[in-house]
A = this chain, B = another copy of it.
Amino acid sequence: MSSDALATAAGVKPTQLRKDLTYFGQWGTRGLGYNVEGLSRSISEVLGMAKLQPVILVGAGQLGTALLRYNGFTKEGFEVVAAFDSDAERKRPRDIRVPVLPMTQLGDFVRERGVKLAILTVPGSAAQQAANDLIQAGVQAILNFAPAVLHVPERVVVNNVDLAIQLENLAYFVK
């Protein structure tokens, strides 16, 4: 398949796609294009997704439980292995399979299972403290849904997903 076809599918320009791919190697054949199967496998490896990544979720409130139900992650090589909440006993929908544990168990769990990724869905006011706990335990990357700026050491990576900001961004463009 040509970079042109792949780019159309991905919603980018062909040159962009080629340039990006070459940062990690040469996976195409000149005059022919890319072998989709091989390319797909190579990308998975580069992205560190070859093996199933265990993920924990902190903050099993509205948004948190919604994400626990959502299984779009599994398909992409992630498995939410446990959730943590300051009120682990609160009644929650029974169709949630992931165990909800008290925050006190977070440290041991992360260390024992070697968890490196965490999803943070606590209220903004609790976010920094929760992040500290996660980092202390050894988590290396946080997907933060809380509306708060997290201050973390250099080695820890944070990705912010603020839904309100996303809407504000759009609101600016509508007339």
Contacts and interface: CB of A to CB of B under 8 A. Distances in A.
A126 B94 CA distance: 28
Contacts of A72: 147, 163-164
B70 A167 contact: no
Given A73-B163, A147-B72, A163-B70, A157 B170 contact: yes
Nearest to A147: B72
A149 interface: yes
A47 B35 CA distance: 45
A3 interface: no
A174 interface: yes
Contacts of A163: 67, 70, 72-73, 143, 161
Interface string A38-54: 00000000111100010
Contacts of A147: 72
Given A48-B174, A66-B70, 10 more contacts: A47-B172, A49-B171, A53-B174, A63-B70, A72-B164, A76-B168, A157-B173, A157-B174, A159-B166, A159-B169
Interface of A: 9-11, 46-49, 53, 55, 62-63, 65-67, 69-70, 72-73, 75-78, 116-117, 119, 140-143, 147, 149, 151, 157, 159, 161, 163-164, 166-175
